[in-house]
Amino acid sequence: MNIRLALLIAAVVLLAPVLTPRAEAADNRIALVIGNSKYPDAETPLKEPVNDAREIADELKKNGFDVDIGENLSIDGMRRAIDRLYARIKPGTTALLFYSGIGIQSNRQSYMVPVDAQIWTEPDVRRDGFGLETLLSEINSRGASVKVALMDASRRNPFERRFRSFSAGLAPVVAPSGTLVMYSAALSSVVADGGSQQSLFVGELLKAMRTPGLTGEETLNRTRTAVIRASKSEQVPWISSSLADDFSFIPGQTPSKQAALTPPKVNDPESKSSDTKPSEIKLPDPKIPEPKPFALKPFDAKPSESKQEPGKSDPALADDPIIRELTDRLASNPNNANTLYRRGQVYASKGAYALAIKDFDEALRINPRDVEAYNNRCWARTVVGDLQAALRDCNEALRLRPSFVDALDSRGLVNLKSGMAKNAIADFDAALRINPRLTSSLYGRGLAKQRVGSAAEGDIDIANAKAMDPNIVNEFDSYGVR
């Protein structure tokens, strides 16, 4: 009798690992958590990312994750942290990434930005940033069965208008099978840093993560619903899932997935859409492709177009989905300075400068210290020829932020169009001391030098600028500057 009992106990012990769900093996759950707050290009450090990273790391540790946390990581620091993550992956691992900081999309891919990134042109993003798709692909190739990426990086960033392309927020991710991804805001949209100790997204995520009996998909969907409600639909997180294995943030939870496929109803006008691929569960996402904050200098507009104001009667403008969505937002909250600013950028990118200026006017009425809006309005006014008002805007931007390279570049153009070539040279010189690769300042300085009689020096600047950006001539031609 004792021998039989002993054999039975031994059999149970031997079979125990087999009876444990594979995706819930607590000894095979690893996480990399990063909070980046201190970007030198930003006017002030972000308050939320480091605190959020610490709270997420603590929660993951309670749930059996082996957590590696990094704060204010440089390029080398992020590379080492990611390499450590790769090294810890074994076949069947559940690997989780949480990133809070600045994110940028380039060529329809999303990049995490280290605190020491030197971003002046779009290729710099790919050089100094870390691509989410690349990271997930590498994690998958090393044998991870479940990949989870939580990105609180849809923030207005300090690198605006340094690119000629027009992009903002994060891009859709093309991820391997077995991946669960969540962004804190809709695709290509940004949310303002609240200046609090914890972001709305992370606060709701932590509540959902602590709720027992939920799958990973249910946890993220509950977070999304709570954020939409708390923000009154101003912030709408994005989720994509191709999970095949059961996964829960709390180990040992293996509830039915059915509830994860049916999100709770909220006041979400796009929740009826179902753009779902067979291999991918894509939770409803209000498609709000926010205007992309990097370019206020559309190089394809002609000078004759710059004074156009298509207005509501222009079918192309009236039917533009981005403008329509932003206008709907403003109908419910007309004093949202961030939305006004973003719609102004979209108008400017489409050559509707009068409408853009009107939106920047309203944004500045609400927030008179928005240096980005002053600089954008300065540039738009310069293009339409309202040079005295443009100069006042650039001067105010530089009063608020004396070394604001974008405003120096903008004021250089104002002075160039005003015939103040020497003043233009001084502004472009100051901008180039901060960023020697700023092509618009280099080309503008070349034109200004030619106008003051330094033809040879001007030719060198122009040739160097054209070598860096062959489109720079067309760009300045679109501003009416030759």
- Specify the CATH number for the domain of residue 379: 1.25.40.10
Residues 225 and 348 in one domain: no
| Highest mean pLDDT (candidates 38-42, 195-199, 457-461, 465-469) | 457-461
Alpha helices, DSSP H only, in 70-179? 75-88, 122-128, 132-141
Give the model's pLDDT for residue 351.
Answer: 82
pLDDT in tens, 22-65: 334 445 999 999 999 998 777 678 889 999 999 999 999 999 99
Q: What is the edge-to-edge ordering of all strands in the sheet holding 66-71?
A: 66-71, 29-35, 94-100, 146-152, 179-183, 238-241
* 304 or 460, higher pLDDT: 460
pLDDT at 5 over 60: no
| Highest mean pLDDT (candidates 180-194, 318-332, 376-390) | 376-390
Residues 37 and 177 in one domain: yes
pLDDT in tens, 408-443: 999 999 999 999 999 999 999 999 998 787 888 999
Residues 247 and 326 in one domain: no
Residues 257 and 313 in one domain: no
pLDDT at 296 over 60: no
Give the model's pLDDT for residue 445.
Answer: 97
Look at residue 336 and tell me if it is in a domain. Answer: yes
Q: Which of 9-18, 236-245, 328-337 has the lowest mean pLDDT?
A: 9-18
Residues 256 and 310 in one domain: no
- Domain hosting residue 322, numbered range: 303-478
Look at residue 384 and tell me if it is in a domain. Answer: yes
Q: Return d(Cα 408, Cα 232) in angstroms, integer.
A: 38
129: exposed, middle or buried (Cβ count in 10 Å: 0-12, 13-18, 19+)? buried
Residues 222 and 307 in one domain: no
Angle between helices 421-434 and 439-451 (to 10 degrees): 150
* 57 or 11, higher pLDDT: 57
Look at residue 287 and tell me if it is in a domain. Answer: no
Residues 244 and 309 in one domain: no
- Specify the CATH number for the domain of residue 68: 3.40.50.1460
pLDDT in tens, 117-161: 888 777 888 889 999 999 999 999 999 999 999 999 988 777 765
Look at residue 116 and tell me if it is in a domain. Answer: yes
User: Into how many domains does the chain fold?
Assistant: 2
Average pLDDT, the chain: 81
The domain boundary residue, chosen from 261, 283, 317: 261
The domain boundary residue, chosen from 206, 238, 261: 261
pLDDT at 444 over 80: yes
Look at residue 422 and tell me if it is in a domain. Answer: yes
Give the model's pLDDT for residue 280.
Answer: 38
The domain boundary residue, chosen from 242, 261, 280: 261
Residues 194 and 340 in one domain: no
Measuring CA to CA, which residue among 197, 266, 210, 165 is closest to residue 50?
197
Q: Which two tokens stand for residue 79?
A: 């590379």
Q: Are the C-beta atoms of 446 and 461 separated by less than 8 Å?
A: yes
pLDDT in tens, 211-220: 999 999 999 9
Look at residue 296 and tell me if it is in a domain. Answer: no
Q: Give the C-alpha distances (Å, rounded to integers) separating 289 from 136, 256, 317, 322, 392.
A: 24, 33, 15, 6, 32
Look at residue 281 and tell me if it is in a domain. Answer: no
Residues 176 and 247 in one domain: yes
* 7 or 354, higher pLDDT: 354
Residues 384 and 246 in one domain: no
Give the model's pLDDT for residue 160.
Answer: 62
Look at residue 337 and tell me if it is in a domain. Answer: yes
Residues 241 and 311 in one domain: no
pLDDT at 249 over 70: yes
Q: Return d(Cα 64, Cα 62) in angstroms, integer.
A: 6
pLDDT in tens, 326-340: 888 888 889 988 888
pLDDT at 482 over 60: yes
Residues 199 and 122 in one domain: yes
